[in-house]
């Protein structure tokens, strides 16, 4: 396994790289189940969260992952306003790196910022923890891992991604990862919530969830931001749920073993009926748990001292 | 000693449980006095602060306690606004738990929230760090411990709790704990600052601090929130201090060895004269110090791996 | 080497004390270059950041230093508003100390606050991390160290400090430290950005950077706060840069080996041309890196358990 320096896009890894991360994740899932779920793999390494956009969940997941690897963690949370000029962001990155940091976990509302940070960094690794509506590679990795855990492989699976594709970095990274691993993806959304162009998205499109649902092995529901209403992209929440929500009635159309997934946090009763979210084939909580192990694998892969996994 | 899962109310423990915590605290006070005040008891465990209401003191006390036990700590501080709907709070709790957390320390302005959190949690322990005007059990435990440290036992002691009983979770938990350990409690407050009903409060009531003061073994002064003035529950700070403050003149009425206590932060010159707060029988700072050891005991009791205290 | 309790002003150390810190820093620079840049020197010690003014850089630098020494770290960040009354600040300090803290790193917009904190503290060490326009001793130490690293000694060097001297705690601490170590310092600034009196500043003054530049061994540029424009202390940024900025044209006046320094964050194009900031003899990034090692030395000196440096 080669040791990449950064994880910016899911395409950096390719199918083989994704499989490498999956196998590494198996080891860290096993670590997470131990009585003392901690290994010294990254002792003395420092992982800094550079979050220019609030996301406590993702930050805590990375922080938990780093601590289980015995790394030191630090937070640098900034409102975008105080670093809005390019020079300042560069200065921030160079300063943090000069303190002797090993990895920077970057979340920013601007697409492409993690690439900029990587270009400025001299020795440390950069992990994209979500940039604008662009990419969120560790989310895609944990989604792949969760499906693989339930179905052994994604090869040949049919996966529907439902909802606000246009404003979703999760959708973009998932489509790339799922299709790289051999799944066929259908995007299900109203025209207003699809990107202006779908060139480069290896996916089909449908506007009819009732038609797609019975054929799916996985239904992946995206979070609906309530501001889409104000932007007049949607008539009403109620109509959205009636057409694109996984209601109890619509859930009956699914195959018995179809997996239900969501990146969280769920708007219960909007994207998915509360009762459906709690069914056994809903793996939403498992996605969260796997998120920690996947991020341990990514950190270990990027800044671990060797290819061999010294966790046993 | 049985191992409870949660600490929500002081009544969960009962007299015997409180005594168990006191004995365990003795060990951790001893640990705290070592050159390296740290034991590996909770190595690999993760303690998360879920504070929906700001309280740096309580949060730092729990964090210090967890770190001295070698646990990893994380913070999840949220403004109530962003999680005001029941579903979101539940989602937050389930997400954090799914990351593999062992204990959640919950502070919330809504009475009863820690019980809700405990109901949603599947495996982790929940500690109530203050819910609305309802309960604050670890404060009561540290108060009991501080009195016991000075007087060996609370049995037969007379304790006055003075001030804004109505809006105080400290008062409620203290009354329950002090009376469980055999002390007799008198609440001293103006009628506007007493709860509408005192059913279930094992305490007497007085409106005359001058009459109560000479008989007390402990005077416990509550913090006065300045907003009570605006709510017209009090005529003026000055009148409050004249009637219910521990002024220098009133302090002369106390027994020589009467203990002076306060949960902090003190409004010097309001609840208590600055000079009185600094006297030797004022144990306010000792309460803070004991708070760390008591919280070590509680964390160890709830998520430690065994009943034997492996700290020696 | 005697063990001081606090580091409040650079004058507390004197020339000999500064040299002691420099020698100790050599060891910690060596530690920082190891594969696992961590030593157990402060295991079980707790270092708290008490920042009443936002400064993520300085806070992260101290936090990194403390973690590399294996200390536990905690943050207490407060808006000045919530602790504006003297009693509250005192109460905060006493509470934090009662929890068993070893060192408090204090940043405050009010000159002298760290001295107050030191007066209230009973056993813990206080480090001034910047008080108003007054002092910032660890910045001065890292500046001395960076110059010494490049030139062996400051003895006989000519150092220009350029810019907003009046509102700069860095300038004040640097002047005291540089001159204590035998350098001669020239302050270069417009009259509006000089302090009302320069009594006690062992430095010359000039208003002509073109005249000073060719003679300097070090040019130290201060950060220009944009609010100085609004306060009418400066006509325009452009004019400031033309007169006091290290433009490309002006950089040609410097000796070939003159060092260029800045406390960061740099306003590129204002105090210094972007291209000049990136030259090899610009040691701005090195200042940041040395900042961690210098703060390790200071923490070790104040709260380490002995004079011998047990890092080998």
User: The complex's ipTM?
Assistant: 0.88
Residue of chain C whose alpha carbon sits nearest to that of B266: C91
**Which of A120-124, A146-150, B54-58, B307-311 shows the lowest mean pLDDT across its residues?**
B307-311
Burial of A12 (0-12, 13-18, 19+ CB in 10 A): middle
Q: B69, B100, B120: which to substitute to probe chain A, counting the most A Cβ within 10 Å? A: B100
Classify the C-alpha dihedral A99-A103-A105-A110 as positive or negative. positive
Looking at residue A235, what is its pLDDT? 83
Q: Note whether C76 contacts B56, CB cutoff 8 Å.
A: yes
CA distances from A220 to A183, A186, A188, A228, A280 (A): 13, 10, 10, 19, 15
Residue of chain A whose alpha carbon sits nearest to that of C71: A72
CA distances from A262 to A267, A287, B106 (A): 10, 8, 26
Q: Note whether C95 contacts B264, CB cutoff 8 Å.
A: yes
Mean pLDDT over A29-50 rounds to 94
Q: List chain C residues with CB under 8 Å of B289.
A: 98-100
Residues A174 and A261 sit within 8 Å (Cβ to Cβ): no
Residues B164 and B224 sit within 8 Å (Cβ to Cβ): yes
Among candidates B32, B56, B274 on the partner chain, residue whose Cβ is nearest the Cβ of C100: B32
CA triple C148-C149-C153, angle to 5 deg: 25
Among candidates A43, A78, A87 on the partner chain, residue whose Cβ is nearest the Cβ of C36: A43
Classify the C-alpha dihedral C61-C66-C68-C72 as positive or negative. negative
- Which helix (H) or strand (E) element contains residue C105? strand C103-108
Q: How many CB atoms lie within 10 A of CB A234?
A: 19
CA triple A139-A144-A150, angle to 5 deg: 130
Residues C230 and C171 sit within 8 Å (Cβ to Cβ): no
**Which of A88-102, B34-48, C95-109, C151-165 shows the lowest mean pLDDT across its residues?**
A88-102
In this complex, the chains that touch B, judged by 3 or more CB pairs closer than 8 A, are A, C
Residues 6+ away with beta carbon under 8 Å from B133: B111, B166, B167, B168, B169, B172
pTM of the full structure: 0.92
Q: Among candidates C166, C226, C237, which has minimal Cα distance to C195?
A: C166
Among candidates A48, A87, A92 on the partner chain, residue whose Cβ is nearest the Cβ of C268: A87
CA triple C133-C138-C139, angle to 5 deg: 65
Q: Note whether A87 contacts C267, CB cutoff 8 Å.
A: yes
Q: List chain B residues with CB under 8 Å of A38.
A: 43-44
Which residues is A259 bridged to in the sheet? A218
Q: Among candidates C264, B86, B26, which has minimal Cα distance to A269?
A: B86
- CA B10 from centre of chain: 10
Report the C-alpha gap between A142 and A152 in whole angstroms. 14
Q: B29, B31, B34, B37: which to substitute to probe chain C, counting the most C Cβ within 10 Å? A: B37
Residue of chain B whose alpha carbon sits nearest to that of A291: B99
Residue of chain B whose alpha carbon sits nearest to that of A270: B87
Report the C-alpha gap between B117 and B97 in whole angstroms. 10
Q: List per-residue pLDDT tens for chain B, 312 residues long.
A: 678 999 999 999 999 999 999 999 999 999 999 999 999 999 999 999 999 887 888 999 999 999 999 999 998 876 544 554 455 788 889 999 999 999 999 999 999 999 999 999 999 999 999 999 999 999 999 999 999 999 999 999 999 999 999 999 999 999 999 999 999 999 999 999 999 999 889 999 999 999 999 999 999 999 998 877 777 788 888 999 999 999 999 999 999 999 999 999 899 899 999 999 989 999 999 999 999 999 999 999 999 986 445 443
Q: Note whether B60 contacts C74, CB cutoff 8 Å.
A: yes
In this complex, the chains that touch C, judged by 3 or more CB pairs closer than 8 A, are A, B
Looking at residue A306, what is its pLDDT? 61
Q: Which long-range contacts (CB under 8 A, 24 or more apart) does A81-87 make?
A: A83/A52, A87/C266, A87/C267, A87/C268, A87/C269, A87/C274
Which residues is A67 bridged to in the sheet? none
Looking at residue A229, what is its pLDDT? 74
- How close, in Å, is residue B242 to chain C by CA atoms? 20
Looking at residue B1, what is its pLDDT? 60
Task: Return the HEC string of chain A.
Answer: CCCCCCECCHHHHHHHHHHHHHHHHHHHHHHHCCCCCCCCCCCCCEEEEEECCCCHHHHHHHHHHHHHCCCEEEEEECCHHHHCCHHHHHHHHHHHHHCCCCEEEEEECCCCHHHHHHHHCCCCEEEEEEECCCECHHHHHHHHHHHHHHHCCCCCCEEEEECCCCCCHHHHHHHHHHHHCCCEEEEECCHHHCCCCCCCCCCEEECCHHHHHHHCCEEEECCCCCHHHHCCCCCCHHHHHHHHCECHHHHCCCCCCCEEECCCCCCECCCECHHHHCCCCECHHHHHHHHHHHHHHHHHHHHCCCCCCCCC
Q: Note whether B76 contacts A56, CB cutoff 8 Å.
A: yes
Residues 6+ away with beta carbon under 8 Å from B189: B162, B163, B164, B165, B166, B205, B207, B244
Classify the C-alpha dihedral A109-A115-A119-A121 as positive or negative. positive
Residues C41 and C297 sit within 8 Å (Cβ to Cβ): no
Q: Which long-range contacts (CB under 8 A, 24 or more apart) does B201-205 make?
A: B201/B172, B201/B175, B202/B175, B202/B176, B203/B161, B203/B175, B203/B179
DSSP helix/strand/coil, C6: coil
- CA C70 from centre of chain: 23
Q: Among candidates B221, B274, B217, B265, which has minimal Cα distance to B243?
A: B221
Report the C-alpha gap between C88 and C82 in whole angstroms. 8
Report the C-alpha gap between B97 and B86 in whole angstroms. 17
Looking at residue B85, what is its pLDDT? 45
- Show which residues on chain C lie within 8 Å of chain B, measured between beta carbons: 43-44, 46, 48, 72, 74, 76, 78, 87-88, 91-92, 94-96, 98-100, 305
Q: How far apart are the first and last CA of chain A?
A: 19
DSSP helix/strand/coil, C39: coil
Looking at residue B106, what is its pLDDT? 97
Edge-to-edge strand order for the sheet containing C103-108? C72-77, C46-51, C103-108, C125-131
Residues B131 and B6 sit within 8 Å (Cβ to Cβ): no
CA distances from B80 to A179, B86, B89, C79 (A): 40, 11, 10, 19
Q: Note whether B99 contacts A268, CB cutoff 8 Å.
A: no
Which fold is adopted by the domain C10-135+290-311?
Answer: Rossmann fold (3.40.50)
Q: Note whether B95 contacts A264, CB cutoff 8 Å.
A: yes
Q: Note whether B64 contacts C100, CB cutoff 8 Å.
A: yes
Residue of chain C whose alpha carbon sits nearest to that of B67: C72
Domain range annotation of chain C: 10-135+290-311, 137-287
Looking at residue C1, what is its pLDDT? 60
- How close, in Å, is residue C96 to chain B by CA atoms? 8
CA dihedral B299, B302, B306, B312 (to 10 degrees): 20
Q: List chain B residues with CB under 8 Å of C76.
A: 56, 60
Beta-carbon-side half-sphere exposure of residue C306 (alpha carbons within 13 Å): 6
Please count the residue pairs, one from chain B and one from chain C, whose beta carbons lie less than 8 angstroms apart.
55
DSSP helix/strand/coil, C273: coil
Residues A95 and C57 sit within 8 Å (Cβ to Cβ): yes
Residue, of B231 and A205, whose pLDDT is higher: A205
Classify the C-alpha dihedral A257-A262-A265-A267 as positive or negative. negative
- How close, in Å, is residue C92 to chain B by CA atoms? 8
Among candidates C48, C88, C98 on the partner chain, residue whose Cβ is nearest the Cβ of B288: C98
Q: B32, B35, B288, B296: which to substitute to probe chain C, counting the most C Cβ within 10 Å? A: B288
User: CA-based diameter of chain C, in Å?
Assistant: 57
Report the C-alpha gap between C183 and C158 in whole angstroms. 6
Summary mean pLDDT of chain A: 92
Looking at residue C230, what is its pLDDT? 76
Q: List chain B residues with CB under 8 Å of A34.
A: 44
- Show which residues on chain C lie within 8 Å of chain A, measured between beta carbons: 32, 34-38, 56-57, 60-61, 63-64, 67, 264-269, 274, 285-286, 288-289, 291-292
Report the C-alpha gap between C143 and C294 in whole angstroms. 10
Q: Note whether A60 contacts B99, CB cutoff 8 Å.
A: yes
Q: Note whether B87 contacts A266, CB cutoff 8 Å.
A: yes
Q: A45, A48, A66, A72: which to substitute to probe chain C, counting the most C Cβ within 10 Å? A: A72
Q: Note whether C285 contacts A94, CB cutoff 8 Å.
A: yes
CA triple C285-C263-A86, angle to 5 deg: 65
Q: Note whether B67 contacts C88, CB cutoff 8 Å.
A: no
Tokens read off for C248:
């490309």
Q: How many CB atoms lie within 10 A of CB B187?
A: 27
- How close, in Å, is residue C199 to chain A by CA atoms? 34
Burial of B45 (0-12, 13-18, 19+ CB in 10 A): buried
pLDDT at C60 over 50: yes
Please count the residue pairs, one from chain A and one from chain B, whose beta carbons lie less than 8 angstroms apart.
55
Q: C49, C66, C87: which to substitute to probe chain B, counting the most B Cβ within 10 Å? A: C87
The pLDDT confidence band at residue C232, using thresholds 50, 70 and 90, is confident
pLDDT at A308 over 60: no
Beta-carbon-side half-sphere exposure of residue A301 (alpha carbons within 13 Å): 28
Q: B99, B103, B104, B122: which to substitute to probe chain A, counting the most A Cβ within 10 Å? A: B99
- How close, in Å, is residue C40 to chain B by CA atoms? 11
Q: List chain A residues with CB under 8 Å of C268.
A: 87, 91
Residues B244 and B162 sit within 8 Å (Cβ to Cβ): yes
pLDDT tens, residue by residue, A97-110: 999 999 999 999 99
CA distances from A70 to A6, A58, A120, B38 (A): 20, 19, 27, 17
Classify the C-alpha dihedral C270-C275-C276-C280 as positive or negative. positive
Report the C-alpha gap between A88 and A85 in whole angstroms. 6
CATH code of the domain occupying C137-287: 3.40.50.1370
- Do domains A10-135+290-311 and A137-287 share one topology? The answer is yes
Looking at residue A1, what is its pLDDT? 60
Among candidates A44, A96, A305 on the partner chain, residue whose Cβ is nearest the Cβ of C38: A44
- How close, in Å, is residue C99 to chain B by CA atoms? 5
Report the C-alpha gap between A220 and A264 in whole angstroms. 11
Q: What is the DSSP letter of C198?
A: -
């Amino acid at each position: 396994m080669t040791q990449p320096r950064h994880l910016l896009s899911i395409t950096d890894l390719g199918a083989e790289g994704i499989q490498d991360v999956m196998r590494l994740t198996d080891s860290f899932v096993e670590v997470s189940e131990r009585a003392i779920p901690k290994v010294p793999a990254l002792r003395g390494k420092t992982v800094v969260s550079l979050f220019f956009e609030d996301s406590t969940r993702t930050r805590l997941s990375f922080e938990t992952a780093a601590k289980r690897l015995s790394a030191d963690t630090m937070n640098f949370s900034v409102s975008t306003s105080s670093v809005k000029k390019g020079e300042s962001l560069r200065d921030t990155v160079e300063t943090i790196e000069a303190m002797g940091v090993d990895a920077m976990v970057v979340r920013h509302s601007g697409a492409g910022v993690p690439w900029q940070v990587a270009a400025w960094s001299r020795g440390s690794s950069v992990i994209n923890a979500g940039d604008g509506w662009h990419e969120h590679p560790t989310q895609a990795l944990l989604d792949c891992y969760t499906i693989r855990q339930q179905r052994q492989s994604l090869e040949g699976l049919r996966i529907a991604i439902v909802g606000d594709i246009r404003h979703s970095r999760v959708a973009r990274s998932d489509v790339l990862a799922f299709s790289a691993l051999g799944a066929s993806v259908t995007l299900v959304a109203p025209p207003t919530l699809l990107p202006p162009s779908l060139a480069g998205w290896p996916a089909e499109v449908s506007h009819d969830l009732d038609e797609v649902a019975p054929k799916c092995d996985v239904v992946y529901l995206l979070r609906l931001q309530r501001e889409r209403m104000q932007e007049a992209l949607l008539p009403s929440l109620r109509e959205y749920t009636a057409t694109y929500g996984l209601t109890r009635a619509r859930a009956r159309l699914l195959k018995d073993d179809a997996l239900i997934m969501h990146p969280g946090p769920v708007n219960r009763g909007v994207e998915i009926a509360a009762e459906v979210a709690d069914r056994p084939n809903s793996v939403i909580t498992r996605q969260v748990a796997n998120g920690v192990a996947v991020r341990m694998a990514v950190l270990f892969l990027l800044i671990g001292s060797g290819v061999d996994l010294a966790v046993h």
